[in-house]
């Protein structure tokens, strides 16, 4: 991963942290909890996943039950969940 991408991910994390810490809605709820006699410790974890985008997201010949074609990213995601499709890897017949 390039240093520029790492820097951008760091900035994204900082922006998320800043958004949460400056949220009036969150501050209001925390205040309400403290008024009930509790101290609040808020810890959030963010997972940032990146997929390199191809020029055009090429569609695969496999289709879902609704008839929508899967993209390579769709298949990669399904594979990461250990889900395979019945026709995966078969050559299309025309």
Looking at residue 94, its pLDDT comes to 45
**Total domains present in the chain:** 2
45 and 80 share one domain? no
Residue 10 falls within a domain, yes or no?
yes
40 and 77 share one domain? no
25 and 65 share one domain? no
Residue range 11-51, pLDDT digits in tens: 998 898 899 889 999 999 999 999 999 999 988 887 878 87
Which domain, by its residues, includes 65?
51-86
Residue 22 falls within a domain, yes or no?
yes
Residue range 69-85, pLDDT digits in tens: 777 777 888 888 888 77
62 and 77 share one domain? yes
d(CA 82, CA 76): 10
2 and 27 share one domain? yes
What pTM, to 2 d.p., does this model score?
A: 0.48
Residue 94 falls within a domain, yes or no?
no
19 and 4 share one domain? yes
- 33-64 in b/e form (b: 16+ CB < 10 A) is eeeeeeeeeeeeeeeeeeeeeeeeeeeeebee
């Amino acid at each position: 991963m390039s240093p520029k991408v790492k820097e951008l991910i760091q900035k994204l994390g900082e922006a998320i942290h800043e958004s949460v810490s400056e949220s009036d809605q969150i501050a209001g709820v925390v205040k309400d909890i403290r008024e009930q006699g509790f101290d609040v410790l808020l810890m959030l974890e963010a997972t940032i996943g990146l997929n390199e985008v191809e020029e055009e997201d090429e569609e695969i010949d496999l289709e879902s039950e609704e008839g929508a074609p899967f993209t390579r990213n769709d298949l990669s995601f399904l594979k990461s969940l250990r889900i395979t499709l019945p026709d995966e890897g078969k050559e299309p017949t025309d």
